[in-house]
Structures are given as C-alpha cells and as structure tokens.
Structure 1
C-alpha cells in the first residue's frame, strides 16, 4: 500500500487514501503511550504529519509504516466506487 492522501484529525486519527482507492482511518492514540510518540500528545505536533508514501512521519522522529497502518486501519470507503456512483 502507498499513501496518496493524508490528513491528521483533531482526535489523533489519520485519514488516509491509499493508491488502490481505499479510504480509511488510523487511530494513533494507542501509540501515544510510547516514548517515541510522546511529543504527539501535543495536538499541534500531531497535525504536522508528513506523508512519505510508504510511511508517515513526524519531526519528533516518530513514524509508522504502511504495513502497520494497513494492519490496523478501518476502511470506510473506496474512491473508485464513489467516482462511479
């Protein structure tokens, strides 16, 4: 999976569109207990997420691979089906 669109929400959730058209949400809040993600408890830092295509990262050094995201995200739609509907 490659991430084509990424947006941080105010509730520590990432809204993601994958290259295959799947649209989903990934909750980062369970990771905030770990030292590498500690800075992201500040919402101002969390929203500074960077799309690396096959990973997401933040200035504090925290990152998540698309394998991790794909294993735990909630798919809520598909852009291909929305275009044809």
Structure 2
C-alpha cells in the first residue's frame, strides 16, 4: 500500500509530494477547492498547515487526500 512520505506546500495550491513507492511529483489541489470542505484551503495560511497523516495528507480541520488519490493525480 502506497503512503505519502512528505508533502511540501507550494504556490498556487500545489503540494510537492514524495511517495513510499519512490514516485515524486506535484499534486494540484486547486481542482478540489470549490468542493465543500476543501473551500477552506483557499486561505493560503491554512493551506500551508498541511501534514502527512494516516498515509495521506491532512489539514487541521480534517480535510484530507489519500495516497491513492494523490498518486493518481500526481504530475
């Protein structure tokens, strides 16, 4: 099962991601920002609070993305 090893916030709602299977790339969060709970991520200070948790990434108010979603969308 793939896991997120590191997630670094970047400009324009992107995350620099490193996965446990050796894949690295950029995950663009912007397509999700107009979807319910993800709207809060539009605040840059809050977006930068991302942490690696439970194999994926998570923010303080429990918005999250699984490693599988990230791997599928990774560029």
**TM-score of the superposed pair, with normalisation by structure 2:** 0.90
Q: Where has structure 1 moved over 6 Å in runs of 4 or more?
A: none
| Higher-Rg member (1/2) | 1
Show structure 1 runs of 5+ residues with no match. 75-85
The residue that corresponds to 2:23 in the other structure is 22
Rounded Cα–Cα distance in structure 1 between residues aligned with 2:62 and 2:53? 13
Alignment of 1:1-85 (within 5 A): 1-52=2-53, 54-74=55-75
Rounded Cα–Cα distance in structure 2 between residues aligned with 1:22 and 1:35? 29
Task: Return the offset for 1:5.
Answer: 1.6
**TM-score of the superposed pair, with normalisation by structure 1:** 0.80
Question: How many residues in Structure 1 have an aligned counterpart in Structure 2?
Answer: 74
RMSD: 1.1
